[in-house]
Chains A and B, each alone.
Chain A
Amino acid sequence: MFGSKDGVNYYEVLEVPPDAVPAEIQRAYQRAKATYSQDNPALYSMFSREEARDLLKLVDEAYSVLGNNQLRRAYDESLQKNGAQPFAQRSTVSADHQALPDFVVPDPSIPGSIEMAAAQIHSPPPSTPVVIPTAPVSTPAPPPSEFGPRETVIVTTSEFTVRKREAPPTLKQGMAKCPMGTYPVDGAMEQEIAAKDEFDGPFLKKIRTYKQVPLEKLSESSRIGKTYLIALESNDFKNLPAPVFLRGFLVQIARQLGLDENKVVTSYMKLAKKS
């Protein structure tokens, strides 16, 4: 429906402006979800079932990015890099960022602040443009245009450049990443995890130690008590909470360890039910 996949703009999919606040995105998502579900009469004679399903998938995909502050920021950056959406410059969104006024009120006690504020008012972008060179990439540099060298990116928000300068930690050879950190890759172990359909406590523990995540750290990030984690990893079912809570715990653990949530939850819950 939307032509080539790379032509899709998630903001257009959810029909929100690029500077929409999270609440707007949430609402737009709910509305889009209701619109493109199968039995909505509004689709009648316009979109077929398959097309509606594709649109729904696209809506979910868009929300999974725009609904997450970190991913959304990264997405905005990629939009800016492609230069396709100049308006995305306004939308480097984080809650603290949005609260900032566009113009700084000059403070006479700071020398130069008035001139700076004046400069801000006279130049169209809200704050002084900072020109930063992009990281060297292997693609050949585009020919310089008459508008100046193309391999520089102008970012108008100083806060934004701070974030950009923190170059993402490059992974060393033979290392892999999971949400909890990096760990050395072991091919056999990776294969075993990928092939496994039944996840029980000891195996989850094995994965955790393999991925070098200490119990304390997992407990902290998943907000699950250590005693529960220990019980869960040792298949000590009678010391585990009610199924509804256990399910939530498993989802959290699977996410933190970068595992398939569905597989982990279904297999472990089956196991817990049997006992």
Chain B
Amino acid sequence: MNTIWAIGGGKGGIGKSFISSSLAICLTRMGKSVTLIDLDLGSGNLHTCLGIKIPNQTLSDFVSGRTHSLADVTTATEIPGLNFISGFNDALNIADLNRDAKNRLIHGLRSLPTPYVILDLGAGTSENTLDFFLAADQKVVAVTPEPTSIENAYRFMKASYYRKLREAESELGIQSLIEAAMDSRNNLGIKSPADLVRYIHQTNPEAGLRLSNKISDFSIQLLLNQVRTRQDIELGHSMKSVCKKYFGIEASYLGYIDHDNAVWQSLRKRRPMVIEYPYSSIVGQFLQISKNLLNPAALRAVI
């Protein structure tokens, strides 16, 4: 079975596609083969980041049922080891993806032949985006050091966390509690998911334990993009701590990417940064982040 990495983050324009394409190329540089999938359905432009044309076959062929295998819509790129699946290039939107097609797609991801699959998610917190995010083994949240991006990143995390809880609630019969908690003016003193889990532990220890088990695989990897100052770097540690205190989950700080004009210069040339400037500090940072993602246990050991 392959390993799926998802790059999300809520806000648009924070470099999700740039990050996904760069991480994918870094992985190929380490000798791994990767399938990169543009799930920013409706407005995907991952192909531009990679500097390739939109392939003839796209995900819309798979979703509409014209083809039954993801292999048919996969395009091999010029970069050895890198396969690419383009998103919709027509008027279809991610919101139009029905449950059936989504499940088929998620199932299909697992049977892709490459050992690594990278999902470039779109902006926003639509249910489909959240489901792809939750289906991934490594859930990367990209954020830039601006209040708007931070706010949306938290919103994205909250939305996916509650979606995860919803999955658990029907099984555990704690639906009413979660609904009460999501109402911010509840009188149980529950202000955050961490409070909720603690409350359920107190009232119903058995359900609490099962709930903890259920959400234990919900861990988030923070990636800070467009870093300009030292303070920006520290922001990752702070956000990690806030996640821990708010959600009661372990988040890891994957690393940061510097702000660099070379990024948009390479984008203008429509040449991937990792190939255009292979010896730049940014590419070094991407390599380090790829290593951290390949071995998340090592990252968690570092304080």
Contact = CB atoms under 8 A, between A and B. Distances in A.
Interface of A: 1, 3, 7, 15-16, 20, 24, 27-28, 31-32, 34-35, 40-47, 51, 55
Contact of A42 (B192, B198, B238): B238
Size range of the chain B interface in the assembly: 20 to 34
B150 A45 contact: yes
A44 B151 contact: yes
Given A31-B241, A35-B238, A45 B155 contact: yes
Consensus secondary structure, chain A interface: helix
B246 interface: yes
Given A3-B189, A35-B241, A35-B242, A44 B147 contact: yes
Given A27-B303, A35-B238, A1 B245 contact: yes
A44 to B, nearest CB: 5
Interface string B238-267: 110110111000000000000000000000
Contacts, number: 59
B278 to A, nearest CB: 33
B10 to A, nearest CB: 11
Contact of B238 (A3, A7, A24, A34): A34
Interface string B168-208: 00000000000000000000010110010011000000000
A93 to B, nearest CB: 16
Given A15-B244, A45-B155, A1 B234 contact: no
Contacts of B245: 1, 47, 55
A7 B198 contact: yes
Contacts of A20: 303
A47 B191 CA distance: 10
Contacts of A41: 145-147, 150, 235
Contacts of A42: 150, 235, 238-239, 241-242
A24 B303 CA distance: 8
Contacts of A35: 237-238, 241-242
